[in-house]
């Protein structure tokens, strides 16, 4: 008969329970250090702004405007009979332009104006022919954006920008420089001199602001700082990027004077903003 050994065999010692090593467990195979996740950053939008009209189109429009003015001057020189009654609802705006009951200045062209900037940095004025076009004028004023927005709380805010005429015989292009192409201005806010305003070319940040506001015709608010590169310490110290956009009536008085009058939406009784460009 076959015999079986009934002597108990010693079983191998059991190892203590250990969790399987993971990539984030120190000491495990393929272990890595826990690194902080990068902060979310919204990429800047692609610039799809349309180019302003060419100089040839501007010259053609200027010639047409001069022809219209000549016809108007001819009709004004003819004797007419003044009506006995007076029409109400027409308000005389500063500079001689007449405002209708909806606030629109007769004979003016409609433009889009945007005041923007970081609250602790200088405010910038951008003038566009349409909300989706490249600015035809970008002017940086020697005044903080937060301070300028506070001034907007007043009932009337008038910004006067003055530049000097070049004396005769100085420079090759005398008399050919457009008023809004002047590089340097002396700025006044409600009659108080605040320093200078400088014309500059739009930067990538300026075009990004215009791109973000391309669908906004009238409004005010704050733009997200992450899109504008808000991770940098310099931007964080400058505060939020505030903006105010509105429609403006552009009145060309002469070769040396232009005015912009802000139109309040729906004709409400909001603050009035007027910007005057004068070459003296």
Radius of gyration of the chain (CA): 33
| 55 three-class SS | helix
Separation between Cα atoms, residue 75 and residue 73, nearest integer Å: 5
Residue 19 lies in a domain: no
Distance of CA 165 to the CA centre of its chain: 28
Q: 226 falls in which pLDDT band (50, 70, 90)?
A: confident
Residue 104 vs residues 22, 109, 249, 261, 262: alpha-carbon distances, Å: 71, 10, 7, 9, 9
Strand partners, 279: 163
Count up the domains in the chain and report the number: 1
Residue 80 lies in a domain: no
Residue 149 lies in a domain: yes
Residue 155 lies in a domain: yes
Q: 90 falls in which pLDDT band (50, 70, 90)?
A: very low
pTM: 0.68
Q: Which domain holds residue 199?
A: 109-166+177-279
Q: 177 falls in which pLDDT band (50, 70, 90)?
A: confident
Residue 15 lies in a domain: no
pLDDT of residue 89: 37
Residue 151 lies in a domain: yes
Longest dimension (CA), the chain: 148
Residue 4 lies in a domain: no
Residue 254 lies in a domain: yes
């Amino acid at each position: 008969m076959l015999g079986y050994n009934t002597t108990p065999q010693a079983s191998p010692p059991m190892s203590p329970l250990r969790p399987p090593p993971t990539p984030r467990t120190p000491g495990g195979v393929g272990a890595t250090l826990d690194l902080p996740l990068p902060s979310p950053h919204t990429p800047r939008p692609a610039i799809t702004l349309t180019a302003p009209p060419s100089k040839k189109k501007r010259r053609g429009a200027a010639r047409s405007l001069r022809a219209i003015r000549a016809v108007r001057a001819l009709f004004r020189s003819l004797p007419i009979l003044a009506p006995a009654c007076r029409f109400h609802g027409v308000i005389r705006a500063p500079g001689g332009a007449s405002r209708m009951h909806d606030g629109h200045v007769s004979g003016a062209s409609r433009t889009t104006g945007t005041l923007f900037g970081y609250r602790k940095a200088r405010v910038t004025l951008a003038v566009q022919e349409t909300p989706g076009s490249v600015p035809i004028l970008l002017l940086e004023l020697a005044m903080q954006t937060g301070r300028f927005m506070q001034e907007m709380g007043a009932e009337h805010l008038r910004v006067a920008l003055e530049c000097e005429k070049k004396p005769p015989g100085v420079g090759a292009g005398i008399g050919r420089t457009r008023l809004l192409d002047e590089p340097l201005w002396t700025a006044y806010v409600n009659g108080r001199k605040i320093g200078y305003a400088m014309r500059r070319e739009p930067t990538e940040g300026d075009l990004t602001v215009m791109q973000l506001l391309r669908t906004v015709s009238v409004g005010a608010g704050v733009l997200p700082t992450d899109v504008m590169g808000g991770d940098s310490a310099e931007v964080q110290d400058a505060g939020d990027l505030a903006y105010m956009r509105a429609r403006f009536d552009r009145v060309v008085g002469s070769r040396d004077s232009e005015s912009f009058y802000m139109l309040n939406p729906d004709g409400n009784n909001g603050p009035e903003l007027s910007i005057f460009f004068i070459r003296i």
